[in-house]
Amino acid sequence: MSEERFTYEGPPDLLPVLVQALERVVDPEVAMNIVDVGLVYGVKVADGRMDVDITMTSAACPVTDIIIEDVENELDKSLPPDLKIHVELVWEPPWTPQRMSAKARSFMGW
């Protein structure tokens, strides 16, 4: 990952595995991974727990539950089994198109 797409606090060796797992989660409405879309706000790993803050492009997003479940499943498959994963849906700050990667903006024609 060449540009910082979300904040991360935790062991450096987990970051590449975490990013790869999150990049496998696709927002079905835009057919792009949630990292490039800018839906991942931050990840913190401490005391055997990983807290992942994500958002949606809209509070009316019909695929919220699917995305959250996919995040949990991909992280569970990729990370140490003793690490408890907690995904939190947050609305602050609100998502904006500026959160998207250059690749995502190009894909969308922006």
Q: What is the domain count for the chain?
A: 1
Half-sphere exposure of 101 (CA within 13 A, CB side): 18
pLDDT the model gives residue 1: 37
pTM: 0.92
Domain presence at residue 104 = no
Domain presence at residue 79 = yes
Domain presence at residue 75 = yes
Residues 6+ apart with CB under 8 A from 15: 8
Q: How far apart are the first and last CA of the chain?
A: 21
DSSP state at residue 13: G
Mean pLDDT confidence for 85-104? 94
Domain presence at residue 91 = yes
CATH code of the domain in which 37 resides: 3.30.300.130
pLDDT the model gives residue 3: 52
